[in-house]
């Protein structure tokens, strides 16, 4: 029997409605949540993401600001721009669009963002909070993926979860979140031996690798929940890491690409920005 689809389009639309309600409530109390995106250079994929973030702000009633900087901008100039936004009371969330040009130090730049305005959750303070199970800002993509599972009512406690990929933006925080949900978590990576032996044990299988058709049906336990984070461009089409057509015949639940986790990322970014604005108000 074919798997149930975890519909990112529907779930993200629903989340955005909830964010819009929170934005309206904040506005009624005199605060308009503001998100600033710093874009260095003009990478075409980054341009699309930044445009979509602006669109998301508009849809939910937030203030959106894009700071454009030349590709040859210096580290000092970038960090000075971040400082200005740190001090700006109209801005509650700051995001530096990645990747940055090679000559810039990404971690140093991200560490200049005030942790409470770090709506991507990449500041080491927030990374540490997540690892310690303390309250902090959680990266949008893994948080969005978890939200999809929860909104479908998928039971997580006690389940075997396997995450393929250990990047700081997806794999590691995803593993932390699943651990917090009481899954037994295995993290696989490029040096993992006998990958299939691990993945076939997974009740929840998350792929964040960035290789098209990397996860095939023989790697999946029948009835498993398969979350495809991968975004790969092949012949002008966007496809995931999972061989969707094959795997959907064996999985219990599956996220499509496009229309899956990718849709959740921006919705979660808006939600993190609303959280940041609410925190400001509560502090006052």
Active site (catalytic) residues? 53, 97, 120
Query: With the C-alpha atoms ordered 70, 82, 124, 268, is the resulting torsion angle positive or negative?
Result: negative
Choice between 252 and 259, CB closer to ligand NDP:
259
- Report the nearest approach of ligand NDP to the CB of residue 266 (Å): 8
Q: What is the DSSP string of 124-169?
A: HHHHHHHHHT-S-PPPHHHHHHHHHHHHTT---TT-EEEEE---TT
Per residue in 137-150, is it b (16+ CB within 10 Å) or e — as a string?
bbbbbbbbbbbbbe
- Report the nearest approach of ligand NDP to the CB of residue 15 (Å): 14
Q: Residues in the site for ligand NDP, rule: CB under 6 A?
A: 141, 164-167, 169-171, 188-192, 195, 208-210, 229-232, 261-262, 265
Choice between 232 and 246, CB closer to ligand NDP:
232
Beta carbons of 100 and 111 less than 8 angstroms apart: no
Choice between 91 and 164, CB closer to ligand NDP:
164
Beta carbons of 101 and 93 less than 8 angstroms apart: no
- Report the nearest approach of ligand NDP to the CB of residue 65 (Å): 22
- Report the nearest approach of ligand NDP to the CB of residue 74 (Å): 26
Choice between 166 and 213, CB closer to ligand NDP:
166
- Report the nearest approach of ligand NDP to the CB of residue 83 (Å): 27
Distances (CA, A) of 49 to 40, 113, 198, 256, 263: 13, 20, 34, 19, 11
- Report the nearest approach of ligand NDP to the CB of residue 196 (Å): 10
CB atoms within 10 A of CB 87: 9
Distance CA 131, CA 150 (A): 20
Distance CA 107, CA 104 (A): 9
Characterise 258 by phi-psi region: left (phi > 0), alpha (psi -120 to 50), beta (else). Answer: beta
Cis previous bond, 233, omega within 30: no
Choice between 33 and 230, CB closer to ligand NDP:
230
Sheet holding 34-40, edge to edge: 63-69, 34-40, 93-96
> What contacts 238, CB < 8 A, 6 or more positions away?
231, 232, 257, 258
Choice between 26 and 267, CB closer to ligand NDP:
267
DSSP letter at 207? E
């Amino acid at each position: 029997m074919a798997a149930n689809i975890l519909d990112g389009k529907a779930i993200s639309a629903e989340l955005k409605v909830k964010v819009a309600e929170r934005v309206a409530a904040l506005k009624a109390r005199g605060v308009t949540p503001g998100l600033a995106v710093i874009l260095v250079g003009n990478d075409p994929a980054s341009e699309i993401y930044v445009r979509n973030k602006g669109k998301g702000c508009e849809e939910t009633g937030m203030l959106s600001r894009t700071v454009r900087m030349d590709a040859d901008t210096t580290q000092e100039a970038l960090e000075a721009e971040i400082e200005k936004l740190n001090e700006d009371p109209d801005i509650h969330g700051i995001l530096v669009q990645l990747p940055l040009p090679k000559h810039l130090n990404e971690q140093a730049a991200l560490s200049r963002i005030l942790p409470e305005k770090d709506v991507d959750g990449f500041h080491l303070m927030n990374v540490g909070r997540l690892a310690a199970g303390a309250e902090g800002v959680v990266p949008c993509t893994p948080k969005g993926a978890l939200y999809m599972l929860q909104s479908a009512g998928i039971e997580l406690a006690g389940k075997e979860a396997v995450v393929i990929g250990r990047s700081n933006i997806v794999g590691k925080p995803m593993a932390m979140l699943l651990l917090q949900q009481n899954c037994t978590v295995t993290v696989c990576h490029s040096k993992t031996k006998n990958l299939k032996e691990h993945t076939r044990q997974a009740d929840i299988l998350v792929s964040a690798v960035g290789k098209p058709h990397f996860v095939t049906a023989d790697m999946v336990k029948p009835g498993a929940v398969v979350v495809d984070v991968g975004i790969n461009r092949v012949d002008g089409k966007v496809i995931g890491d999972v061989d969707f057509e094959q795997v959907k015949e064996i999985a219990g639940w599956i996220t499509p690409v496009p229309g899956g986790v990718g849709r959740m990322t921006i919705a979660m970014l808006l939600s993190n920005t609303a959280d940041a604005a609410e925190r400001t108000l509560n502090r006052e």
